[in-house]
Every structure is written in structure tokens, then in C-alpha cells.
Amino acid sequence: MAGPDLNLLITLDVLLEQGSVAGAARRLGLSASAMSRTLARLREVTGDPLLVRAGRGLVPTPRATAMKDEVHRLVEDAAALLRPEAMVDVGALTRSFTLRASDGFAETFGPELVRRLGAEAPHVAMRFIRKLDKDSAGLRDGSIDLETGVVGKAIGPEVRAQALFNDRYVAVVRRGHALTAGEWTAGRYAGGRHVLVSRQGLDLGAIDEELAAQGLARTIVTTVDGFAAALALARGSDLVATVPERHTIGLRGDMVALPLPFASRNFTVSLLWHPRLDGDPAHRWLRQHVRDVCAAILAQNA
């Protein structure tokens, strides 16, 4: 069974406000005959004449008078519901957001992000969780609000992405390491003892491919699943950790970052979210702060 034509509510609201078929027709940009037909449909649907002739004009029936305010409220509520939200009172916002990122992002950008959010929205909570793969299921099911990463085939095609910054891999060693003195070559890099960061979706294979093209190979001493662990091992030993330069500013401390002494691809770290949150004003506010904080922190460390 077909439901009622809710478009009739808009016409009824204008008819009851104008008290005139001709006036309502002009207001809605319809012909007088079209408005008369719509009034006939309204009378049929409601079982009430709604507007009746009184002299040269029309007057509302008791039913029409009783429903006038309610009809207007329904039309206004529907318009508000369908209208894009342009602003949000962040000072009164009570909400928790979850951002998933590789280790290093929270340490590098998190303190300033939390400070800025807290200054504007004291009731907003920020939750950082570690990214161990590129599966975008959390964005789809709503358990994750935002994610950072390199856009690739593993990212769902519907996911929105906006570039945050460009990055590159660097070799990081403790201060005073032998590799920080003398000529820096691909041979010296390969000859070091390396800690390998290995997790799903992390593309470090290109580094070994480039070394192999030069007849070189790294010696992998140990393997870990995150940048923080790799840097911790390199800080306390002579191991070499190959990690993203800008992403890990907050993890490296006084360690020395050396550019890779051979060709390597730069990559773009993007902010990712599900399209259902495009129009959410609170989510737009958060996205803008993440972008601003990344730009500010990287400018300070340029």
C-alpha cells in the first residue's frame, strides 16, 4: 500500500497560510488550476474541505484551523532535517573521536592536536589507536572516525582522502654511530646491521629492490612490527632503523636521520574518512584541526 504524498504537506502549509488558492499558487510558482487540483487531493486525503467559500474569499474549516500550526511545524522540521549543517557549537560538543594511525603520528602530532581540541571543545575526547594494516573496515562500520595512511588498492574505493603531507624514508641511527661520519653511500647503508619494520601494507620492498639493482643487500638482524620499536632498538644499539622521516619526528628525539643514499620514492600521507561523515560539522571541524596541526608541526621542523 502506497504511503501518503508528503509533498502535500508543503502545499497545505502554504494554502493555510495564504487562505487563497491564487495566493498559494503564486507562492509556489504553480498555475491556479494546478493548485485547485492539489486542494482537491488534500480534501480527499484528509476527508475535510479545509478551505470553504465565504463571500468572495475562503475561510478555513475547524479541522484546518486546528492543524495549521502542526502542519507548519512539520514542514519546518523537515526542512531543518534536510538542510546541510553549517556550524557546530564545539564548546558544548560532547563526543569521542577515534583516529587510527601508524605509531609515530600520535607522538608527533597528538600533543598539539589534543591541546587545540581541548581549548575549543573541553568535552571532546580523542582516542588514538595503532594502525597495523590498511583495511578500511573500521571507517565503513563507524568504529573509526579518521585514519591516516598512504592511499592504495587496499583502501576502499568509497573512502574519502585528503593529502596531509609528503614523506620519505630515512635511515635513523643513534647519535655517535659510525655511519654518521665519513662518506654516506649505498654500500655503507647496506653494510650496516638493520632492524626491519614489517607489517601488512608497509611498502619497504622497493628499498631492497634498489639495493639489489646495485648488487647490494641489507643484513636484517631483527624484525619488529612498528616504528617505535625499531627506533627504540636503534637508539640503544648500532642497528639502523629505516622509517618515515616526518611521521616519526616525535619518536626520534636526538637520533640522527640520514637520507637514503640511493633513489627512493617519496609518498603522500593522507587523511581518510567515510563519505557519510562528509557533511557532519563536528567531523569537518576535527578534520580541519588535524590538517592545521600537521602543517604547523612540520613547518616548525622544516
Strand, coil or helix: 162: strand
Q: Give the whole-angstrom CA distance, residue 41 versus residue 173.
A: 80
Average pLDDT estimate for 217-224 = 93
Which residue has cell 636521520?
257
Higher pLDDT, 4 or 23: 23
Structural domains of the chain ordered from first start: 7-80 (1.10.10.10), 95-165+269-300 (3.40.190.10), 169-265 (3.40.190.10)
Distant-in-sequence contacts of 277-280, Cβ < 8 A, 24+ apart = 277/145, 278/160, 279/84, 279/85, 280/85
Between CA 189 and CA 243, with CA 108 as vertex, the angle to 5 degrees is 20
pLDDT tier for residue 279 given thresholds of 50, 70 and 90: confident
The 10s digit of each residue's pLDDT in 159-171 is: 889 999 999 999 9
Q: What is the pTM of this model?
A: 0.70
Q: Report pLDDT for 210.
A: 92
Grid cell digits, residue 84: 546541510
Average pLDDT estimate for 47-55 = 87
The 10s digit of each residue's pLDDT in 232-264 is: 999 999 999 999 999 999 999 999 999 999 998
Provide the 8-state DSSP code for 83: S
Computed over every residue of the chain, the mean pLDDT equals 88
Average pLDDT estimate for 274-290 = 91
